[in-house]
Amino acid sequence: MAVCIAVIAKENYPLYIRSVPTQGELKFHYTVHTSLDVVEEKISGVGKALADQRELYLGLLYPTEDYKVYGYVTNSKVKFVIVVDSSNTSLRDNEIRSMFRKLHNSFTDVMCNPFYNPGDPIQSKAFDSIVSTMMVQAF
Amino acid sequence: MDQGSAAGTGGTFISLSDTEQRCFSGLYALCQPDSSGKLAAGKVAELFRASQLPAETLHQVTEVCGAKRLGYFGCGQFYVALKLMAAAQTGLPVRLESVAGELPLPVFIGITNEHEMRYPNHPSTNEIQAHILGSLPGSAPHPPADRAVLRHPDTSMDKQEAWSPPRSPGISPPRSPSAYRSYPYAAQRNGTDTLLVYDGKVAGRPSIPQENSSPSHYSLKVQSEQPVITRVASVERLVERAEMDYSDDPWRITEEQREYYTNQFRSLQPDLNALIMGTVAKNFFTKSKLPIPELSHIWELSDVDKDGALTFPEFCTAFHLIVARKNGYLIPETLPATLRPGFMETGVVTAPPSEATEPLIVFDDHTMPGANQLEMGSVDLQMTSRPGVTAKQDTRDESRKPEEFSPKRIPDPHEKPIQRVSTLKPDSPQELDANMKSRTRPRSYSSTSIDDAMKKVEEPPTPPPRPQKTHSRASSLDLNKLFQQSAQGAKSGWLPRPPALPPRPPATQIFSFLPGSEKSSQKAVQQPNFADFSKFSEEQESSVRGGLSTEDLAPPKSDSTLRHQGHTPQKPVRRKLHPESQSATPPLATPCSAATLTKSTQRPPPKQKREIQMAIRKNRETNAVLTRLNSELQQQLKVVHRERVTLESQLELLRPVTST
């Protein structure tokens, strides 16, 4: 269960960002922003290989004492970032992968909608609902 | 006073039509005017928000109508504001010149106007208005005033109360269509506008039970439907009209609506079974003037296969949702069951053709000459006559007996599934294409493609029984038969039964069958039921054979026996047969079919023959579809193989690199 999920466009501006304790949003926004550097580093690392050989799932970007940040990048350089609570140790890698896969599918559905202009903030309710299922349930 | 200020606002007189008067007066009353005629600001704000215009537009409206200057909404400002909002909703700029012409009524979502409900029945407020109209200074000529006054002298109710059916300064509500035509904006819209505005008013009140109003409004709807259908640009008004028939459930598509959607679909894409591309649909739906986020949400709901394009059922769903939204129903978070594409088809499947005759007979009782056509079992005729019949039926009904129409509407929901049977049956062969894709894809070789996953999503909505029939055929027989281009041969009279029967040909009877290649194998399939028939065909074939070259017959015949013994598909064997059989079958087909048909009329009961013919036609269509499908699949297979090869080679190249 994530505490923050973000979708960042190719030009590194956010298309969608949502965090669960909505008051502490700024911290998560900052975290996501700094994680972009790590993402860039990872995707530029496999320079000589063809783009589609690169793994979409980037794995753990960096851990802090409070939380862990995972990254995923699509072939069109759209980045998904998930921040999970460090105390939530039960989350396995596969689960994170499946979360990213769901996000990616939901994102492509949003893209298929002709009323969505790429580059616009994502306002799709379906996407929101998918994200909600993945977020930590607020109590 | 209000009138003076309002008149001074623009210096022009704002003319309101009769219906607009009524609508506006209702809205005015809704906004709780106090004794001096000022409106409650909260209510006005609520109403403005319900108009769904962006905030800047609303500010503009407030400014232009003069309320900003005055600091409150008086009657005059309110009316001007309503007109401006109507103008804004149709896309015109928010200026007083815009409201000089004819406009549809402003649409307010979620505001119920019980006052307006009464208006069609009790034009009392109209007279009140007219009465006050006489007292207003500086008004334009009031032809309707005289008329209204003549109606009911019921107007002398307290003047203060008379304010609540509000007055608009400078109102000259011209009733006649000719007066409408004089307005520059009305140049295009003319007589239909009266109907449209009237419809619009009705449509603006979703809470009204439709049964009362539907018969009377139905006439308006039908008359106005024809000219307006041609104007795709005025989708919003068409939307209002299409709302008319929510007899039971707003999320159910009625026949008229479906007909209308079909026409609209055809205007975008002539082939009913093809897809409308996303951009095309976007442009079309944007004309409905709904805000983009809502359209986006509607798209999300209706594009069930998530392919960025709309099939015909998806298009109907989307259009229906737009209609509902325009009429005030909020779009649900998930698609209602009645709007799902699968719903339509399950309704189709569960209604066997026998049921179709009953409601059609109902139409016959009401002397629908066109309905006689409907009784024919022919699918194609049903498809074409259905729209014509409904249109005829509609006009005739409303002209004669409106109340009779309401009992007929009860068979309508029943008819809907049946009509969908008819409308969908021609779709079915082509739909089989999509269904086949969804069914055969998992079994196809290209199971790793993304398309496959997408098509799998298609599977849930498809109707189970129909494709399953072909499904079973495809798995065992047809695909192989299609390799040999069996479509032409299928035209022979040798396909007696739809492919539901177990493919277990009794060996003895098969041998005596004609070398119709695959056709005879199919006949063999249906052996059990058509024993007599086969005997006739044998006899016929034996007699016919004399007239035909024996060389043609002999080799295919022997091979066919071989084939039938091993009934499981043997592709190489059949392929060999193909060139021979193809030459053999056409000459055989025609004389034999003629012979068999003559025989068949004598001995087997005539209805079997009809069934046979129907089955023949169906099978023909199925075969054609499956042929196409097969060729497509073959191509895709080739492509995927190529891709796979390239990917594997790439992988091989990179393997040493990645391992380091």
* Domains defined along chain A, listed by start: 2-134 (3.30.450.70)
Tell if the CB–CB gap between A114 and B299 is shorter than 8 Å: yes
Contact list in A for residue B333 (CB cut-off 8 A) is 125, 129
Q: Which residue of A has its CA nearest to B279?
A: A114
Query: What's the CA gap between B517 and A36, in Å, rounded?
Result: 66
- Is B300 in Cβ contact with A48 (below 8 Å)? no
Q: What is the pTM of this model?
A: 0.36
HEC sequence for chain A: CEEEEEEECCCCCEEEEEECCHHHHHHHHHHHHHHHHHHHHHHHHCCCCCHHHCCCEEEEEEECCCEEEEEEECCCCCEEEEEEECCCCCCCHHHHHHHHHHHHHHHHHHHHCCCCCCCCCCCCHHHHHHHHHHECCCC
Residue in B466, B200, B473 with CA at minimum distance from that of residue B351: B466
B155 exposure class (CB count in 10 Å sphere: 0-12, 13-18, 19+): buried
Shortest CA distance from A126: residue in chain B: B300
d(CA B450, CA B447): 8
Nearest CB among B281, B296, B654 relative to A116 is that of B296
Taking residues B45-49, what's their average pLDDT? 80
Do residues B181 and B364 make contact, with C-beta atoms less than 8 angstroms apart? no
- Residue of A111, A112, A115 best to disrupt the B interface, most CBs of B under 10 A: A115
**More confident position, A135 or B417:** A135
Nearest neighbour of A125 by CB, restricted to B278, B308, B333: B333
Look at B103-107, B147-151, B277-281 and tell me which has the smallest mean pLDDT. B147-151
**B255-339 belongs to CATH 3.10.450.50:** no
Q: Do A53 and B296 touch (CB under 8 A)?
A: no
Burial class (CB in 10 A: 0-12, 13-18, 19+), B237: buried
Taking an 8 Å cut-off on Cβ atoms, the answer to whether B299 and A113 are in contact is yes
- Is the model more confident about A26 or about B36? A26
**Interval B444-455 mean pLDDT:** 46
**Phi, psi (5° rounding) for residue A82?**
-120, 130
Which DSSP category does B171 fall into?
-
Residue B589 clears pLDDT 90, i.e. is over it:
no
B contacts of A112 (beta carbons < 8 Å): 278, 303, 306-308
Which of residues B197 and B280 earns the better pLDDT score? B280
Q: Which residue has the tokens 């049921």?
A: B355
Residue B279 with chain A: CB contacts under 8 Å: 114
Calculate the alpha carbon distances from B335 to B16, B140, B252, B253 in Å. 39, 51, 11, 13
B297 contacts on A by Cβ (under 8 Å):
124-125
Residues of chain A in contact with residue B296, where contact means CB-CB under 8 angstroms, are: 113, 115-116, 123-124
**A123: distance to nearest CA of chain B, Å?**
7
Chain A's closest residue to B296, CA to CA, is: A115
Which of A50, A109, A114 shows the shortest C-beta gap to B306?
A109
Closest-CA residue in chain B for A111?
B308
Q: Is A92 on the interface with B (CB under 8 A)?
A: no
**Shortest CA distance from A109: residue in chain B:** B306
pLDDT at position B496 = 45
> Does the beta carbon of A123 lie under 8 angstroms from any beta carbon of chain B?
yes
Of A50, A53, A115, the CB nearest to B296: A115
Q: Which residue has the higher pLDDT, B359 or A115?
A: A115
Higher pLDDT: B238 or B440? It is B238
Contact B127, B148 (CB under 8 A): yes
Distance to chain B for A111, nearest Cα, Å: 8
Instruction: Provide the pLDDT for residue B87.
Output: 79
Contact B650/A50, CB-based, under 8 Å? yes
Strands (E), B219-375: 276-277, 309-310
CA–CA dist B100, B24 (Å, integer):
16
Euclidean distance between CA atoms A93 and B474, whole angstroms: 42
pLDDT in the model for residue A49? 54
- Closest Cα in chain B to A120: B293
CB-count burial class (<10 Å; 0-12, 13-18, 19+) for B104: buried
Mean pLDDT in residue range B494-503: 48
Is the CATH number 1.10.238.10 carried by domain B9-113? yes
Chains A–B, number of C-beta pairs less than 8 Å apart: 45
**Distance (Å, rounded) from C-alpha B454 to C-alpha B303?**
12
In this prediction, residue A88 carries a pLDDT of: 67
Q: Average pLDDT in the A109-124 region?
A: 86
Do the Cβ atoms of A109 and B650 come within 8 Å?
A: no
In chain B, list all ranges with CATH 1.10.238.10: 9-113, 255-339
Q: Which of B282, B297, B303 sits opposite A125 (nearest CB)?
A: B297
Residues written for chain B: 660
Q: Is B277 or B512 the better-scoring residue by pLDDT?
A: B277
Question: Cβ distance A14 to A6 under 8 Å?
Answer: yes
CB within 8 Å: B650 and A112? no
Q: Are the C-beta atoms of B537 and B592 separated by less than 8 Å?
A: yes
- String of DSSP letters for B386-399: HHHHHHHHHHHHHH
What band does A111 get if pLDDT is binned at 50, 70 and 90?
Answer: confident
* Distance, CA of B366 to CA of B413 (rounded, Å): 17
Question: Residue B213 above 50 pLDDT?
Answer: no
Report d(CA B353, CA B375) in Å as an integer.
10
pLDDT digits (tens, 9 = 90+) for B291-343: 888 888 888 888 888 888 888 888 888 888 888 888 888 877 777 777 776 65
The more confidently predicted of residues B475 and A136 is: A136
pLDDT at residue A50 in the model: 54
Closest CB to B300 among A49, A53, A125: A125
Is A112 an interface residue toward B (CB < 8 Å)? yes
pLDDT, tens digit (0-9, with 9 covering 90-100), for B348-391: 444 444 443 443 443 344 443 433 443 443 444 444 444 444 43
What's phi and psi for A50, nearest 5 deg? -70, 155
- Contact A123/B296, CB-based, under 8 Å? yes
Which residues of B sit within 8 Å Cβ distance of A? 278-279, 281-282, 292-293, 295-297, 299-300, 303, 306-308, 333, 650, 654, 657-658
Q: Is A116 on the interface with B (CB under 8 A)?
A: yes
Which residue in B296, B654, B657 is closest to A113 by CB distance? B296
Cβ–Cβ below 8 Å for A113 and B303: yes
d(CA B486, CA B498): 16
A45 touches chain B (CB under 8 A): no
**For a pLDDT cut of 70, what percent of chain B falls above it?**
33
Q: How long, in residues, is chain A? A: 139
Q: Around Cβ A57, how many Cβ atoms within 10 Å?
A: 15
Instruction: List pLDDT tens digits, range A64-84.
Output: 877 888 999 888 889 999 888
Query: Given CB atoms, is A109 within the 8 Å cutoff of chain B?
Result: yes
